[in-house]
């Protein structure tokens, strides 16, 4: 009996040895063919020649594939870095997955993954220029072809997305991608993915999940992508001139070259360094984003600053000349609280003026590294209703102006400080506001001004006219009224009343208001 058992065991061992020898021999012979099939599958999948420094396929003790120096050059371009490059990769597989079509890998681990987006993005010609302007461009349907390679899971712990500048001497914009996981790569419906992306400015981690693909090899910009993101605790202080902590959530859908994004953002402590007073800011937005170069076209932005609503649309695009992005907006503010806006620009703890304000303006923030307040340019018009000055002395002067403008000298009623209307045009450049057609009115008087306000030094310099319903004699008494009656011809205006040239100059907190004597005899 023992002899029979021994013979059986020896027979099994011999069979195993023979099978192992056959397997090793087959594996050695098959390895070159598997390598050729794998390389051919990669070339076919990306429709371009794939460069590899090394590619090793092992069957024993378990099937695996290792490679180094992977480079994929989109359209075979050698004038820019490879679109995708890898330091090395490791893949596990089953024997059947290596010999059958399509090639099927289980888990692929990527090391040193870098994605280089060339200057201007992945545009291929005039047919894509509309996408650069945020317009919807119709493309011919892309025929779906079965992928020659399938991967159950792709992992990358650390990768980098580099968007190249048009200037060869300028460093690229770099996004760090962590914990990238992609599943079912190569299937017809695309690949579910998750990743964390470190946004450089403002710096913070964006967590995103979604679906990517299938990859469009001939036109990568047409590759579909959809998903959702969260962006938390981003420090806005890294942008010169502003401060606060940003959080944002949203969803995106479309193609790499044209993503439709719907989201919302919150900055509970938004501030401009000029005044350094935090004001809560929240926004809801709809935008078109070119994922191949980062250009953003804002179709609609609804912002709430304090208790005031702001509407805007425009674009945030990369420029060829200067580092950063060029922001252009059309902004409309309707029935907002003036004090909400002034808290951003005026250092006083109490806003010097309150009221309801309407504003329409062009907003331009050129690319650059200077303070926001120095780069910001505005060109627009505004109107204010029911304005009230916070300074008691100013309130009294406004009330007295109204009384004198009507020819009255009675006591000033308590609380008489309402400016019924204020309006004008403004231009802002180099932290200086220039006003034209500026006017405000109280019963009996209108002030028409033009001039500047230096936002850094908080200095006022205005000239203009005070128009009153009353004559100079009506506004004075005693001997002054006699002198005023003699001087009235110099200050009379058509239809009655007076027109006095005035100047307002000095610091914002305590300006000097008076008659501009130099223009008394020189006015028309």
Mean pLDDT comparison of 39-48, 233-242, 298-307, highest-scoring range:
298-307
Is residue 475 scored above 80 in pLDDT?
no
User: Cα separation of 155 and 89, whole Å?
Assistant: 10
- The enclosing H or E element of 333 equals strand 325-337
Q: Give the pLDDT of residue 126.
A: 38
Under 8 Å between Cβ of 357 and 333: yes
Q: Give the pLDDT of residue 394.
A: 67
Is residue 155 scored above 90 in pLDDT?
yes
Question: Binning pLDDT at 50, 70 and 90, where does residue 279 land?
Answer: confident
Of residues 464 and 263, the one with the higher pLDDT is 263
| pLDDT tens sequence across 209-268 | 999 988 776 677 788 999 999 998 888 877 777 888 989 999 999 988 788 999 999 999
| pLDDT tens sequence across 315-354 | 888 765 556 678 889 999 998 888 888 887 777 777 777 8
Mean pLDDT of the chain: 78
Q: Give the pLDDT of residue 300.
A: 92
Of residues 38 and 356, the one with the higher pLDDT is 356
Q: Provide the pairing of β-strand 173-185 with 191-199.
A: antiparallel
Kindly tell me the sign of the dihedral angle through the C-alpha atoms of 308, 313, 318, 321.
Answer: negative
Under 8 Å between Cβ of 308 and 333: yes
Number of alpha carbons in the 13 Å side-chain half-sphere of residue 52 = 18
Q: Give the pLDDT of residue 23.
A: 43
Under 8 Å between Cβ of 397 and 514: no
| Cis preceding linkage at 202, omega within 30 | yes
Complete DSSP assignment for 210-234: EEE----SS-GGG-EEEEEEEEEEE
Mean pLDDT, range 364-381, rounded to an integer:
85
Is residue 47 scored above 70 in pLDDT?
no
- The enclosing H or E element of 110 equals strand 103-111
Mean pLDDT, range 386-393, rounded to an integer:
72
User: Cα separation of 375 and 367, whole Å?
Assistant: 8
DSSP 8-state assignment for residue 123:
-
Of residues 117 and 433, the one with the higher pLDDT is 433
Number of alpha carbons in the 13 Å side-chain half-sphere of residue 388 = 12
Question: Binning pLDDT at 50, 70 and 90, where does residue 31 land?
Answer: low
- The enclosing H or E element of 158 equals strand 149-163
User: Cα separation of 183 and 469, whole Å?
Assistant: 79
| pLDDT tens sequence across 196-211 | 988 877 788 899 999 9
Query: CA-CA distances (angstroms) from residue 392 to 20, 214, 440, 466, 524?
Result: 99, 68, 18, 21, 35
User: Cα separation of 384 and 104, whole Å?
Assistant: 69
User: Residue 191's closest CA among 223, 221, 160, 159?
Assistant: 223
Q: Give the pLDDT of residue 194.
A: 95
Is residue 108 scored above 70 in pLDDT?
yes
Percent of the chain past pLDDT 90, that is, above it, reads 18
Question: Binning pLDDT at 50, 70 and 90, where does residue 284 land?
Answer: very high
- The enclosing H or E element of 449 equals strand 445-454
Written as six digits, the tokens of 60 are: 């024993």
How buried is residue 118: exposed, middle or buried, by Cβ count under 10 Å (0-12/13-18/19+)? buried
**180-190: b or e for each residue (b if 16 or more CB lie within 10 Å)?**
bebebbbeeeb
């Amino acid at each position: 009996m023992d002899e029979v058992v021994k013979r059986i065991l020896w027979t099994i061992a011999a069979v195993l040895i023979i099978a192992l020898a056959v397997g090793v021999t087959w594996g050695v012979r098959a390895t070159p063919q598997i390598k050729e099939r794998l390389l051919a599958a990669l070339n076919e999948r990306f429709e371009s020649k794939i460069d590899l420094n090394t590619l090793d396929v092992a069957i024993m003790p378990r099937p695996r594939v290792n490679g180094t120096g992977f480079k994929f050059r989109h359209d075979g371009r050698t004038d820019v870095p490879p679109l995708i490059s890898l330091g090395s990769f490791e893949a596990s597989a089953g024997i059947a997955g290596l010999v059958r079509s399509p090639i099927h890998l289980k888990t692929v681990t990527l090391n040193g993954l870098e994605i280089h987006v060339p200057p201007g993005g992945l545009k291929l010609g005039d047919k894509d220029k509309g996408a650069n302007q945020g317009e919807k461009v119709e493309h011919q349907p892309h025929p779906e072809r079965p992928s020659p390679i399938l991967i159950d899971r792709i992992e990358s712990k650390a990768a980098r997305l580099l968007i190249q500048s048009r200037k060869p001497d300028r460093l690229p914009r770099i996004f760090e991608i962590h914990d990238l996981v992609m599943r079912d790569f190569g299937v017809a419906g695309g690949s579910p993915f998750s990743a964390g992306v470190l946004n450089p400015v403002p710096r913070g981690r964006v967590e995103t999940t979604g679906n990517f693909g299938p990859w469009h090899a001939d036109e990568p910009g047409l590759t579909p992508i959809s998903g959702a993101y969260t962006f938390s605790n981003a420090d806005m202080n890294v942008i010169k001139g502003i401060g606060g902590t940003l959080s944002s959530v949203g969803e995106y859908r479309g193609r790499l070259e044209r993503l439709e994004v719907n989201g919302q953002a919150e900055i509970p402590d938004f501030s401009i360094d000029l005044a350094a007073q935090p004001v809560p800011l929240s926004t809801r937005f709809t935008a078109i984003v070119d994922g191949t170069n980062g250009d953003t076209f804002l179709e609609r932005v609804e912002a709430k600053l304090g208790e005031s609503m702001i509407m805007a649309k425009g674009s945030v695009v990369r420029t060829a000349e200067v580092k950063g992005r060029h922001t252009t907006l059309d902004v409309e503010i309707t029935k907002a609280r003036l004090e909400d806006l002034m808290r951003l620009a005026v250092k006083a703890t109490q806003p010097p003026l309150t009221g309801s304000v309407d504003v329409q303006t062009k907003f331009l923030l050129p690319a650059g590294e200077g303070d926001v307040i120095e780069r910001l340019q505005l060109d627009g018009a505004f109107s204010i209703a029911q304005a009230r000055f916070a300074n008691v002395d100013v309130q009294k002067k406004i009330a007295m102006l109204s009384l004198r403008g009507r020819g009255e000298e009675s006591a000033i009623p308590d609380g008489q400080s309402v400016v019924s209307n204020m309006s004008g045009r403004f231009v802002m450049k180099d932290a200086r506001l220039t006003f034209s057609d500026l006017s405000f009115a109280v019963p009996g008087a209108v002030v028409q001004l033009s001039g500047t306000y230096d936002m850094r030094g908080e200095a006022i310099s205005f000239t203009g006219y005070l128009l009153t319903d009353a004559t100079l004699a009506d506004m004075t008494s005693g001997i002054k009224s006699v002198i005023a009656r003699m001087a009235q011809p110099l200050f009379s205006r058509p239809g009655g009343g007076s027109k006095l040239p005035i100047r307002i100059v000095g610091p914002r907190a305590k300006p000097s208001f008076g008659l501009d004597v130099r223009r008394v005899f020189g006015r028309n």
